[in-house]
Structure 1
């Protein structure tokens, strides 16, 4: 049964039951009680028939749900002539089902917006002209024109001087982001500025947005452990309800008391509040750039005790950055960077690209180098502004210039030193490293506030590198030189302390992500394998998004439990009141109507969760 048909059926049943109840009351007030009973019965029967069909389907699957109580109460009310009570129960049940359907539809809307935004074609530069081509025809290296208002169809890099992009649908960032030439663009971002050129780096099927769409579709099909728990113990609740109703009838000889007990017990708020709150939580998490693959991971995320972090690309940025510049011979840092970046324009090496990006960030305008010669993996020589420049490893620069002091003593664990010589003289060193993500210390403090008791680093890097990167961080342990299977073993070992969450971004992290209670992948630049194996994907390359994700999960689960406890408690009180004759069937039906609407509305509060852990978020 499609979601659309199910929603329409719920709306139709609600309309029939509402029309039947109001029509019967009108006939009763106009002195036609017999016709009123007929109209009430007419409004109840379609709801009862649909309910019985749903029960049969559940029984075929081997499930016994709490809907049986609703069917029993309506049937008993009709059997003993309490047609008004039956009509109220029918309205109550169809209304509750409609509210649940409405809440889930609203919660799906933000996720479905992602699907609706998928572009079908792209504008590609071809031999000096522009062609409109299907997405499947785009390959890495193609140059695409992204007009104002267009959605980036594939992952790529900015090939124009700059681009202004709205990433709110992916990351929750309300302000557009200005990207410079060469910076990465996620598919699904909207061009909020002038038209720009995008150099494709992936095919559409392999791009960020295509992966997100697949994950969204999986997220919409889940059922939470708490919901399954309700199904598992529904038989117990059903037996208790029937025993209490039977006892009230047998002890008093009044079947109406049994009807009243059944009416008050219909339906249990457990089957309404839990899915509404958790599905709403999925929607809110997606709004903040945290895609949770279902209600089961959402609930598990709320109970995490131990966090294991990968290093490269997770705790660190995963790309080389300049952490310091050592100058010689009176040349300034900006001048050393200027000559290095100008020459490195001839190289595609990641370190060269990082040097160029750093120079652009400082506002340097780089000239075109001349007489270029690149030795792969070693360095580059050439002419910049008429001066001979050598950039590369210290050994390479020393061999090219004969300067023995090109060998640097500033090498630290995990760093790479790039030497720069101008006209045969060493002018400085650029110290490159995979730097710790900005705000990491604040992130760890935030995780502690969210009751994550143990935080560990797991990396394949050498011990010295791992310790240098994590120095001063609030970590419980650092595990280095780990193979993928050793990471899995670490996850399994830590389970003795409670539920474990693993965060990673590489293919080597995928097994550990799958083994953890909750696997979290860095989705912006992470490997497809890690995203597929993970339960949660961070749609933006900010590890701090863990904080709102965990907080939303915790608050959604707490809202669901609050709704269940309050609803069940009130229902049980009402059932005993009905058993002792203090509530008639109609009064019991009205009471349960109020209880069910209240718990659903309370569960809908999850749609308005605003995480308090957004302070200090990376921009």
Structure 2
């Protein structure tokens, strides 16, 4: 019975086409009576299904045009036009079959995700490995993932891994991820077995959220095509009026039946749904789940977009921005290595930032021992021969506030950063500054949205005004509303038009009311499920916010094609109705003509299946591999950039020590300058190829030249100075030069991340310490 229900459209088409063909064969053999009987059977078959579809539509309170098909089939029987009735049945059956196939195509990408959801996990326990249900995994568990297995929960790698991330990120090549990197559930182990520490329960992990969203989207009862419904409201009464008038004027019921036959509205019934469902399929292909055709149509007409900040325009997770040392006893690199080694076994989000910061710098981490966590304060344990403590200032430094602690707090307050303090062997050794950086693809997304037709963009955030204004200026929104609680976000939605053309984008629990109130709610679920995902109409399952611009372009193209197919099909039907009304088109010929019109309308709609223009660039595999390699080198020289500022901070005119500046110059000339030259030789041509010309890379080339110029100036200045001869004004000049170089380097790095690395699939920030695997 289930098989019959799932294949009813196919069976209806096969049976109706067979009856039409058999009747035609009998008619050619001049067996008119049997031919009529077979065609009548086909007409009755179509009439039965049309009545069922009409009743189903009425019960669902949906405006329907199936009533025209019912009248046409019944009229064909009454006026003895069985061939026309059999042709209408084939027309309806073929259309329903195409609609079912289009719906299956739209769901196929999603169903594959559901089918491969992990069911078990292997937990490392004393003495071996224990298989447990994936729902029994808790944060902090150490798990083993075998070759070919799906990662069951979100976690942090305790060893190097080779992963196939195509199911979530769309990137076709396996990638190598180093120890300490975050890994999302749902990716596949494409290499040797590896271990990870879970950072989330299964229910809160990325893949579980994607599966729930898919099931919700598949069960959505939203009407697929409101465009067709709006046409139907006008077309049905118009058809009945024309048919009645033709009958009344001519006193010939055959003309009325002919009008109904050519008015059978397959372009409304089929072409528009095919276009809309093809759009859903295309969106799913780029990592965007749209919950039904209604949501796709509302997305297509959206003109005002409101963004939350955290996790939407920013990365939504802390990133290590600087390491501050308290003394010269331990340098910044060693301090970071010790802290990251301890934090490997912690599931805390700040631990992830510190571990990632260390692995991005290529540091080899040790596995800690005697690890103890003090809830609310921090973590302590042994790393090699050192006792390490990480956490809050009061627990690590004590009640005193030395000058370096005040400096760290001041910088954190100015930048809106978080702080983690560290002690080594019982002595305060330094602190880490953690910030939530702007997504490198966010400015490109805003520009792409404007190109796609979004007229106004508003940043709506609960963060403080100075930070929100900075983010807004960098990404390019039109207005910023800061210090907003959920109720104020709701008021902002209503002020911008409510459900009339508004799109709200967010990823937090506090965004759920605004997502539900907007015309279209868009949630980011690439890093796990939240209440916002449940409330949203559109969900991004890839960790690239610029996929939203692609989704809008797909939605608008699909809706445009749906309207085109309806307008062309119904216009031709109206012309045919006119000919039928004046007696120039009998029912049999009208049925054949209507089939031709239907095929044309459906052919127009099927264009939505083909890939259309999107803003995301498709790069050759060799360019992606090169960008990965250059990004690893880019991250490796970041400590040198931060060292420029710290050396400048440490210069003193009273006790001049130029040794740090001379050591910095060596690092700049041996590490930084070769990297910038490699970028100019390899990365700049890559970006030019992707964006279409050398003018797009002029700013990158100019800053490369400026960096090398400033390093040369530093070289010449240090050649002239010695510790004994350096005057106070010389130290001031040196400090000025270093601060200027630091500013240029920070700006240039931002340019590269936004203008170059954000072009590569899977998001620029996930390229760190990764490389394609041959």
TM-score by length of 1: 0.89
TM-superposed CA distance for 1:180, in Å, is 3.0
1:178 is matched with 176
Q: Counterpart of 1:345 in 2: which secondary structure?
A: helix
Matches within 5 A, 1:56-205: 56-63=55-62, 65-152=64-151, 154-205=152-203
CA shift digits 1:118-167 (9 cap, x unpaired)? 23334443443334444444444443332222222x32214441222223
Structure 1 residue 502 and structure 2 residue 504: aligned? yes
Contact persistence 2:311–2:317 (CA under 8 A) = yes
2:661 is matched with none
One of 553, 567, 588 as aligned partner of 1:551 = 553
Distance 1:343 1:131 in 2: 30
One of 327, 332, 337 as aligned partner of 1:336 = 332
One of 247, 250, 260 as aligned partner of 2:248 = 250
Change over 3 Å in CA distance of 1:126–1:418 after alignment to 2: closer
Distance 2:100 2:590 in 1: 24
Matches within 5 A, 1:572-587: 572-587=574-589
Distance 2:385 2:200 in 1: 39
One of 600, 608, 621 as aligned partner of 1:598 = 600
Distance 2:397 2:138 in 1: 42
Distance 1:486 1:228 in 2: 31
TM-superposed CA distance for 1:55, in Å, is 2.1
Contact persistence 1:336–1:427 (CA under 8 A) = no
Greater Cα offset, 228-237 or 142-151? 228-237
Distance 1:532 1:239 in 2: 40
Distance 1:21 1:41 in 2: 10
Q: Counterpart of 2:496 in 1: which secondary structure?
A: helix
Greater Cα offset, 205-214 or 484-493? 205-214
Change over 3 Å in CA distance of 1:135–1:426 after alignment to 2: closer
TM-superposed CA distance for 1:402, in Å, is 8.7
Structure 1 residue 213 and structure 2 residue 215: aligned? no
CA shift digits 1:20-68 (9 cap, x unpaired)? 1111111111121222111111222222112222223334455552111
1:478 is matched with 480
Change over 3 Å in CA distance of 1:475–1:542 after alignment to 2: same
1:41 is matched with 40
Change over 3 Å in CA distance of 1:413–1:581 after alignment to 2: same
TM-superposed CA distance for 1:76, in Å, is 1.3
Q: Counterpart of 1:199 in 2: which secondary structure?
A: strand
Q: Which runs of 5+ in 1 are unaligned?
A: none
Distance 1:73 1:386 in 2: 89
1:24 is matched with 23
TM-superposed CA distance for 1:202, in Å, is 3.9
Contact persistence 2:526–2:541 (CA under 8 A) = yes
Contact persistence 1:65–1:231 (CA under 8 A) = yes
TM-superposed CA distance for 1:255, in Å, is 2.9
Greater Cα offset, 419-428 or 9-18? 419-428
Q: Counterpart of 1:315 in 2: which secondary structure?
A: coil
Contact persistence 1:158–1:180 (CA under 8 A) = no
Greater Cα offset, 11-20 or 401-410? 401-410
Contact persistence 1:340–1:420 (CA under 8 A) = no
1:50 is matched with 49
1:468 is matched with 470
Distance 2:31 2:307 in 1: 72
2:696 is matched with none
Change over 3 Å in CA distance of 1:155–1:368 after alignment to 2: closer
Q: Counterpart of 1:14 in 2: which secondary structure?
A: helix
Structure 1 residue 238 and structure 2 residue 236: aligned? yes
Q: Counterpart of 1:304 in 2: which secondary structure?
A: coil
Distance 1:381 1:79 in 2: 89
TM-superposed CA distance for 1:218, in Å, is 2.4
Greater Cα offset, 218-227 or 462-471? 218-227
Distance 2:574 2:87 in 1: 19
Contact persistence 1:225–1:296 (CA under 8 A) = yes
Contact persistence 1:577–1:583 (CA under 8 A) = yes
Q: Counterpart of 1:22 in 2: which secondary structure?
A: helix
TM-score by length of 2: 0.72
Distance 2:198 2:552 in 1: 34
Contact persistence 2:19–2:41 (CA under 8 A) = yes
One of 286, 299, 302 as aligned partner of 2:300 = 302
Change over 3 Å in CA distance of 1:223–1:450 after alignment to 2: farther
Backbone CA RMSD of aligned residues: 3.4
Q: Counterpart of 1:543 in 2: which secondary structure?
A: coil
Contact persistence 2:499–2:517 (CA under 8 A) = no
Count residues in correspondence.
615
Distance 1:137 1:383 in 2: 30
Q: Counterpart of 2:438 in 1: which secondary structure?
A: coil
TM-superposed CA distance for 1:435, in Å, is 0.9
One of 588, 592, 595 as aligned partner of 2:590 = 588
1:439 is matched with 441
One of 457, 460, 464 as aligned partner of 2:459 = 457
Matches within 5 A, 1:516-535: 516-525=518-527, 528-535=530-537
Change over 3 Å in CA distance of 1:222–1:589 after alignment to 2: farther
Distance 1:437 1:38 in 2: 69
1:288 is matched with 286
Q: Counterpart of 1:164 in 2: which secondary structure?
A: strand
Contact persistence 1:281–1:607 (CA under 8 A) = yes
Greater Cα offset, 460-469 or 476-485? 460-469
Contact persistence 1:311–1:459 (CA under 8 A) = yes
Change over 3 Å in CA distance of 1:256–1:330 after alignment to 2: same
Greater Cα offset, 491-500 or 443-452? 491-500
Change over 3 Å in CA distance of 1:196–1:609 after alignment to 2: same
Distance 1:43 1:225 in 2: 30
Distance 2:507 2:442 in 1: 16
Greater Cα offset, 439-448 or 353-362? 353-362
Change over 3 Å in CA distance of 1:148–1:598 after alignment to 2: farther
CA shift digits 1:87-141 (9 cap, x unpaired)? 1111111111111111112222111112221233344434433344444444444
Change over 3 Å in CA distance of 1:566–1:221 after alignment to 2: farther
Q: Counterpart of 1:237 in 2: which secondary structure?
A: helix
Greater Cα offset, 237-246 or 61-70? 61-70
TM-superposed CA distance for 1:500, in Å, is 1.5
Q: Counterpart of 1:266 in 2: which secondary structure?
A: coil
CA shift digits 1:289-311 (9 cap, x unpaired)? 11112211111111111111111
